[in-house]
Amino acid sequence: MNTVQQVAGAIGTAVAVSIMSVGMSNMLKQTADQADPVNTAFALTAGIQQVFEIAIIIVIVGFVFSPFLRRVHVSGRNDS
């Protein structure tokens, strides 16, 4: 596994958790009793749902643009 892949995965995870936290806090601001465990569970669900919605958009954009990518063959490359 490449170092860039590991760093990108860590950044992606951090961004997803940040989006989830913002979604949770926005949902909790709309509730009357923020300390209620039921409202906390609903807020967590809303935050996770928001992350999945954004991830689906990113995946759709990737699928749309993937046919336009070209594979570059480098001659004389040593794969050892």
Domain residues for 14?
3-68
- Could you tell me if residue 80 is inside a domain? no
State pLDDT tens for residues 14-49.
999 999 999 999 999 988 888 888 989 999 999 999
Total structural domains within the chain: 1
**Angle at Cα 51 formed by Cα 19 and Cα 36, nearest 5°?**
75
Using a pLDDT cut of 90, give the percent of the chain over it. 65
Residue 39: partners with Cβ closer than 8 Å, 6 or more residues away: 28, 31, 33
pTM: 0.73
CB 47 within 8 A of CB 22: yes
77 within domain boundaries: no
Would you say residue 53 lies in a domain? yes
The answer to whether residue 27 sits within a structural domain is yes
In a domain, 19, yes or no: yes
